[in-house]
């Protein structure tokens, strides 16, 4: 079942006599129940605009969106969606527990159920040790975890996470990744925006790549990366008298050892056959699968060669 669905979702911003800006251009995606869906794109791709439309903070110019088979234009989303922004601003004078009590009231959790719900959430995000510590004394990772707790307060089926790993050290990133996995195991659906593509590759089931409001790629990681032929790293002990110029391809040649990366297995085999017949000895032959980051950069630059990317 599709928990989230958009059809030709378009948003055009107009400012007086200035040229209209197309922030979202016919976006059509489906996010299936229980999956972690990566939503990727460089700055200005339309990711934030999409999230604001899903939260009903913006109205689309055209197209439609559904959450749990309910049209956003006619049905409230507050009880269906949890949201953690990229840079949350929480009341820093509150303790973690006081902060969650505040959000429990905002979400109309009955007073006789609040303590139990808050205890459950604090345990889920691993913040028992800091429940009575003021937020101003939290690390970035602790703020992210308490922010995730507030996003889960009303037990949503769909959770929107906007750059949840931004600014975290490796330990903090792993802790948040583990929490996201745990949410999936609970049967929740995760809409995951991040520019840390190595983490996206580790945890997401499917991804969409967006640029200038247009959807460029959509699919599972096995589909998107599996269509790319494996490159091959080769290392050879070259025969005496070999020069770098005689090799015919770019690579690292030092003390008779040559290392290079070839585009596919066929090219690697041809190169090896050529040099083994001349006395070269194969020291290493290592297939290299294209990473999500490489696919992302190639996809964006094929559409916009001059774009400056931060990954």
Q: Over the stretch 131-148, which tens digit does the pLDDT of each residue have?
A: 999 999 999 889 999 999
Residue extents of the structural domains in the chain: 2-226, 231-288
Half-sphere exposure of 70 (CA within 13 A, CB side): 13
Q: CA-to-CA distance for 281 and 160, rounded, in angstroms?
A: 53
Q: CA-to-CA distance for 177 and 16, rounded, in angstroms?
A: 44
Quote the pLDDT of residue 229.
Answer: 59
Q: Are 141 and 175 in contact (CB under 8 A)?
A: yes
Q: Over the stretch 166-219, which tens digit does the pLDDT of each residue have?
A: 888 888 888 889 999 999 999 999 999 988 898 899 899 999 999 999 999 999
Q: Are 271 and 264 in contact (CB under 8 A)?
A: no
* pLDDT class of 91 with cuts at 50, 70, 90: very high
* pLDDT class of 241 with cuts at 50, 70, 90: confident
Q: Over the stretch 107-119, which tens digit does the pLDDT of each residue have?
A: 999 999 999 999 9
Q: Is the Cα torsion angle 287, 293, 299, 304 positive or negative in sign? A: negative
Q: CA-to-CA distance for 41 and 148, rounded, in angstroms?
A: 23
- Cα–Cα nearest to 40, from 216, 195, 221: 195
Higher pLDDT, 44 or 75: 44
CATH 3.10.580.10 fits 2-226, yes or no: no
Q: CA-to-CA distance for 207 and 209, rounded, in angstroms?
A: 7
Quote the pLDDT of residue 223.
Answer: 86
Residue 228 has pLDDT above 60, yes or no: no
Residue 78 has pLDDT above 80, yes or no: no
Q: What angle do CA 160, 165, 169 make, to 5 degrees?
A: 165
Q: CA-to-CA distance for 289 and 82, rounded, in angstroms?
A: 35
* pLDDT class of 280 with cuts at 50, 70, 90: confident
Summarize the confidence of residues 14-23 as an average pLDDT: 83
* Least confident piece of the model among 3-12, 46-55, 58-67, 78-87: 78-87
Q: Is the Cα torsion angle 280, 267, 216, 6 positive or negative in sign? A: negative
Q: Is the Cα torsion angle 213, 156, 114, 120 positive or negative in sign? A: negative
Q: Is the Cα torsion angle 255, 261, 265, 270 positive or negative in sign? A: negative
Q: CA-to-CA distance for 1 and 68, rounded, in angstroms?
A: 8
Higher pLDDT, 241 or 40: 40
Residue 272 has pLDDT above 60, yes or no: yes
């Amino acid at each position: 079942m599709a928990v989230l669905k958009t059809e030709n979702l378009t948003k055009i911003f107009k400012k007086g006599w200035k040229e209209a800006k197309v922030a979202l251009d016919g976006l059509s995606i489906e996010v299936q129940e229980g999956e972690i869906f990566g939503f990727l794109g460089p700055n200005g791709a339309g990711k934030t605009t999409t999230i604001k439309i899903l939260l009903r903070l913006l109205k689309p110019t055209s197209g439609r969106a559904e959450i749990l088979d309910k049209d956003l234009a006619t049905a409230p989303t507050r009880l269906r969606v949890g949201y953690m922004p990229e840079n949350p601003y929480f009341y820093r004078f509150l303790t973690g527990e006081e902060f969650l009590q505040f959000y429990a009231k905002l979400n109309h959790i009955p007073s006789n159920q609040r303590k139990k719900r808050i205890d459950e959430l604090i345990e889920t995000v691993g913040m028992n040790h800091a429940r009575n510590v003021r937020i101003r004394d939290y690390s970035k990772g602790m703020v992210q975890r308490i922010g995730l707790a507030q996003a889960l307060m009303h037990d949503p089926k769909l959770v929107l996470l906007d750059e949840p790993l931004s600014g975290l050290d490796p330990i903090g990133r792993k802790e948040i990744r583990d929490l996201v996995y745990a949410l999936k195991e609970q049967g929740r659906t995760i809409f995951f925006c991040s520019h840390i593509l190595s983490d996206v590759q580790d945890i997401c089931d499917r991804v969409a790549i967006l640029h200038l409001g247009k959807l460029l790629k959509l699919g599972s990681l096995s589909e998107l990366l599996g269509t790319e032929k494996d490159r091959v790293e080769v290392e050879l002990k070259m025969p005496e008298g070999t020069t770098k110029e005689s090799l015919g391809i770019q690579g690292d040649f030092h003390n008779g050892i040559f290392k290079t990366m070839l585009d596919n297995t066929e090219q690697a085999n041809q190169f090896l056959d050529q040099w083994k017949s001349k006395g070269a000895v194969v020291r290493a032959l290592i297939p290299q699968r294209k990473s999500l980051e490489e696919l992302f950069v190639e996809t964006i630059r094929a559409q916009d060669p001059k774009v400056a990317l931060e990954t």
